[in-house]
Amino acid sequence: MPSLRKFFTGSVASFWHPHSIFWFSLTITLAAVYALLAMQAAFDGEYVVQDDARQHVFWMQRFVDPQLFPNDRIADYFQSVAPKGYATLYRGASWLGISPLLLHKLLPLVLGLLATGYGFGVSMQILPVPFAGFASMLLLNQCLWLQDGMVSATPKAFVYPLFLVFLYYWLRRNLWLMAAAIAVLGGFYPQYVFIADGVLVLSLLGFRKLEFRWLGTRDRYRLVGVGLWVSFLILLPYAIATSEFAPTVSLETAKTMPEFQPEGRTVFFHDDLGRFWMVGRGGLRLSLEPILLCLGLLLPWLLQLRHWFPLGNQVQKNVHSLTHLLVSGLGMFLIAHMLLFALHLPSRYTQHSFRMAISLAAGCAMVLLLDGIWQWFSQRQNRFLARGGQLSIVAFLVGYLLLYPLTLDNFPWTGYIVGRYPKLYEFLQQTPKDTLVASVSVEANNIPTFARRSTLVASEYAIPYHLGYYQPFRQRTEDLIRAQYSRDRAVVENFIQSYDIDFWLIDRVAFIPEYVSKNRWLRQYQEASETALTSLQQPTPPVLAKWVVPEIPLPKSESECIAFENQTLVLLNTSCWLDR
């Protein structure tokens, strides 16, 4: 039994110890299993894409074919906001023959393994017990695969591996690799360079007897100074860059926009303050799922009760970096609120930092509890009861860690979108590369990714944070809604000619009032949607209704202008219709 206790709670002096190699190998294996389960869904068809990739990856098809999406303001916008390192990685892969849509399905495996490996190393720098690294990283992986951050392969997917790389080399006091990690982090997710800087600066401060004290040594000052200097150089281009899509929306303007209200496309404001501050885009978003993450909240108290949990004496001073990470994230959260929306969404600064810190703390706390309970049972006079209790607690913790995903209905949660209309995509792929499709259908979200053709607007791209992008986008959307539901042919023709529309994609149910009244995206364009509802209540149907409503006669000459149709969609060739 002592050997079993040592196997789970024994500390090691080197990573190459057999216990360390075993737990590390098991951790990496399980991380790979989770990622491979997600990849199984990713390759379960030809037209499959992760939800967020429809924004951040679709435009990168330009790397394969530079003629795609010409004069496309949507593609130009998402290309402009992509971090340089992130775009460079996809561009480099394209040069090697790996398309962006393929790479975004492969990256989650690589990122998951990288985060797991370095996270295990960080845990060993805090508590040199391999089982603690296993527990920490298993909890972190389960947490990550319960939401769509890692699987998206968008910039936020790089936060965990790259920040854990930084944290590992910081705890190892490796100057140049730490500086390199900050530089790479800034190329993929620059917001978290601020968090890294907070960790560095807070390491110089101590708090004792109600006052702060400087704790830095000469070497520490050198590490922090180099880290801050690298951060400055990395963030400077972002600070001085100008964008054709400026300005960033201000708090005062956002309060007047329906897009940010409870029924809007990008809800930020909530009537419920608890929801606003805890789970909304402006909230802390502190996740404690899986439930064993709650053990991380106990770590400060366990470290104060070392006579009951003696393994706490093995916890290194590096554990303070977890506190620094939490404080840094909370500080940036408050600053982001004060500067809304210059630093983007406040929740970004707390949700990722909290997941990393609480997972690492939970692994340490689990080992301290396991060792303390084991010791308590070993002091019982009834040897049978002691052995049974020790084995039971080990079996429960290990079993719960390993089997928890099996209790969930949707694990891993991938958020993959499956294209339902391959023939539509194949038809559009054969059209000229400057083809522009107009549609208020939800299927418009998939056309740039699957058909590689531009859409005038789509709900997926209705991102209102930069007014230079969104105000024209909103105008185009309102014009499209009015034209689709207009009973005046001249209005429809003028819209087609003004925006040079090549095809119009229409849902067959688009002219039912509920299609507009219950569509959350359309309803935020209040004036245009009200006009559309009024038009649908008139005895004369909208001009375009004859294409999808069987009861309305369609002249044979115009029926030839249907480029594609199925039971749910009709694609109208607008040039053909105008000629008729």
pLDDT in tens, 175-184: 999 999 999 9
Give the C-alpha separation, 325 to 330, whole Å. Answer: 9
The whole model's pTM is what?
A: 0.94
The DSSP code sequence of 137-197 is HHHHHHHHTTSSTGGG-SGGGGHHHHHHHHHHHHHTT-HHHHHHHHHHHHHH-THHHHHHH
Cβ contact 506:570 at 8 Å: yes
Instruction: Give percent of the chain with pLDDT exceeding 70.
Output: 97
Give the C-alpha separation, 516 to 510, whole Å. Answer: 8
pLDDT at 210: 53
Q: How confident is the model at residue 398 (pLDDT cuts 50, 70, 90)?
A: confident
Nearest to 302, CA basis, from 351, 245, 366, 257: 366
| pLDDT above 60: residue 1 | no
pLDDT at 489: 93
Residue 438 main-chain phi, psi, to 5 deg: -105, 135
Q: What is the pLDDT of residues 332-388, one digit of tens each?
A: 999 999 999 999 999 999 999 999 999 999 999 999 999 888 888 877 666 776 677
Tell me the sheet residues that pair with 569.
Answer: 507
What is the rounded radius of gyration, in angstroms, for the C-alpha atoms of the chain?
Answer: 28
* Distances from the Cα of 563 to the Cα of 124, 172, 484, 538, 546, angstroms: 62, 63, 18, 29, 15
pLDDT at 12: 87
Cβ contact 269:262 at 8 Å: yes
Count the neighbouring beta carbons within 10 Å of the beta carbon of residue 221: 12
Mean pLDDT over each residue of the chain, to the nearest integer? 92
pLDDT at 212: 64
Task: Tell me the residue type at 454.
Answer: S
- Average pLDDT rounded to a whole number, residues 305-317: 91
| pLDDT above 60: residue 239 | yes
pLDDT at 347: 95
Instruction: Give percent of the chain with pLDDT exceeding 90.
Output: 77
Q: What is the pLDDT of residues 436-447, one digit of tens each?
A: 999 999 999 999
pLDDT at 207: 65
